[in-house]
Amino acid sequence: MAINVGDRIPEATLMKMTDKGPAPVKTGEFFKGRKVVVFALPGAFTPTCSNQHLPGFIKSSGDIKGKGVDEIVCLSVNDAFVMDAWGKQQGAGGDVTMLGDGNGDFTKALGLDFDGSGFGMGTRSLRYSMLVDDGVVKSLNKEPNPGEAKVSGAETMLQQLS
């Protein structure tokens, strides 16, 4: 069953690249007492993700954070090495935090996974964005068309934060 507005974020461990290598990020600790925008996508370096979704959030990061958001997270079922390389290639810098859900555990716990094995991709994340406030989902925007980043894009999130 998919997570809904009003639900608490499940406990899971994501991975973030640091100067010392990949480091665990415990969701319970990460979301506690903070307002975080999370947007997830099927895969790093894929066309819609690289041309629309991530660039939109990078471009709008100042406006989003100006609305009281503590952090913006890009999440994908990729490892921390891939997410780090993609973030550098896209210029995410300190604007968007790149987190990997390499085994898809968090994505599956959210109920927002899909089987991409027909495309050689295995289990992947649906395209979505959500606002999480102190570990509780306040808005959830699931993209109906995986080849677009409109419903789940930065502009939608900005409108919801106004």
What DSSP string runs through 115-132?
E-GGGT--EEEPPEEEEE
What's the pLDDT score for residue 48?
Answer: 81
At 51-110, the pLDDT tens digits run: 889 999 999 999 999 999 999 999 999 999 999 999 999 999 999 999 999 999 999 999
CA 61/CA 58 separation, integer angstroms: 5
The single-letter code of the amino acid at 66 is: G
CA 75/CA 106 separation, integer angstroms: 10
Residue 96 near residue 54, CB atoms below 8 Å? yes
Characterize the bridge pairing of strands 123-125 and 113-115. Answer: antiparallel
- Check 49, 74, 137, 140 and give the catalytic one: 49
74 annotated active-site: no
Distances (CA, A) of 137 to 3, 5, 8, 86: 8, 5, 6, 27
pTM here is: 0.94
CA 100/CA 108 separation, integer angstroms: 13
